[in-house]
Every structure is written in C-alpha cells, then in structure tokens.
Amino acid sequence: MSILIRDAVPGDLPAILEIHNEAVLNTTANWYEEPSTLEDRQEWLDWRADNGYPVLTADEDGVVVGFASYGPWRPKNAYRHTVENSVYVHVDHHRKGVAKALMTELVARAKADGRHVVVAYIESSNENSIALHRKVGFEVAGLLPGVGKKFGRFLDLTIMQLTLSP
C-alpha cells in the first residue's frame, strides 16, 4: 500500500463527503447529527483555503481514503496561534497507517505555519483516536464529562494538545 498525502482539491470532495458522512451517521468521532451536503463540504474547503488552513488527503492509487485538517480553535484574536485538528479515514482503511500519515503531515504543516499549539477534542471512548494522537506527541490536557449527546447517550470529551514551540 502506497499512500500519498497531498492537499485536497475540489475533485476530492465527493470522497471527503462520503468519509465525513459515514462518521456522522455511524460513529461518535464527530458530534454532527445530520449528514453534510456536497455544497457544505465545498464551503468548508473554500473557507479553509481562503483563510490559510490546510486540508490534506490520503490518496491510495488515485482514491481518497482519508482526510485531515486544522482550523481555528476559538474566535478571539489571542487564540490565533492555536488550532484544532481533525482526521478521518474511510472505514475500509482503518488501522493501516493512513491516519498516522495524515497526522504526521498535518503536524509538520502546523509547525511550518508557525502555530504554537494543536488541540484535539476526542470522544473519550474513541481509544484508537486517543492512541493515534499520543503516537504523534499529543498529551491529555483535560476531560469534560457528559458535554455532548449523540445516539441517545451523553458523551465525554477528552481534550488533547501538542505544543509545537517553546
């Protein structure tokens, strides 16, 4: 398996949408409750491009099998050096190194962009995502019990952070 990590282009959006919506409908990896549309994902990609936030894809033989991005953490100007990451992999490609490859490049981009901290908000029972973030240097910074609700149950949120610069 050869994975190419590259910047997303508009033609990747149908695959990104499929991966995103699978997570919306079947997991607590994100806390959206309604699937996105192609137009939603186009606006998301355009906004990130216009504001200097990367969207990366994992491409295997011309097929997008995962994506990752970071965006603003909080709207106040004082937080501009901190970003929040997300990473999603097609269900058929879990546990094959795709997420780690995406995260490794995403962290490199954050460093190159002069970011100070990357934060991740992870549903606390998502042990694979917590382990992935640990592998690339994140540490647990906190826990918010019962702050979300999806699939009829309250969810805990683990906060992780990676400090990139002293």
> What CA–CA distance (Å, rounded) separates 117 from 137?
12
Query: Dihedral angle at the C-alpha atoms of 31, 34, 40, 42, nearest 10 degrees?
Result: 70
Per-residue pLDDT averaged across 38-63, rounded?
97
Q: Which domains does the chain have, with CATH numbers?
A: 3-163 (3.40.630.30)
CB atoms within 10 A of CB 152: 5
- pLDDT, residue 84, reads 98
Structure token pair of residue 133: 């973030």
- pLDDT, residue 1, reads 60
- Whether residue 23 is predicted with pLDDT greater than 90 in this model: the reply is yes
What percent of the chain has pLDDT above 70?
99
List the strands of the sheet with 55-60, edge to edge: 3-7, 55-60, 63-72, 82-89, 117-123, 153-163, 139-150
Grade residue 2 by pLDDT with cuts at 50, 70 and 90: confident
- Whether residue 144 is predicted with pLDDT greater than 80 in this model: the reply is yes
Q: Single out the residue of 111, 164, 114 nearest to residue 139, CA to CA.
A: 164
- pLDDT, residue 75, reads 92
Q: Give per-residue pLDDT as tens, 108-127.
A: 999 999 999 999 999 999 99
- pLDDT, residue 166, reads 80
* Average pLDDT over the chain, rounded to an integer: 97
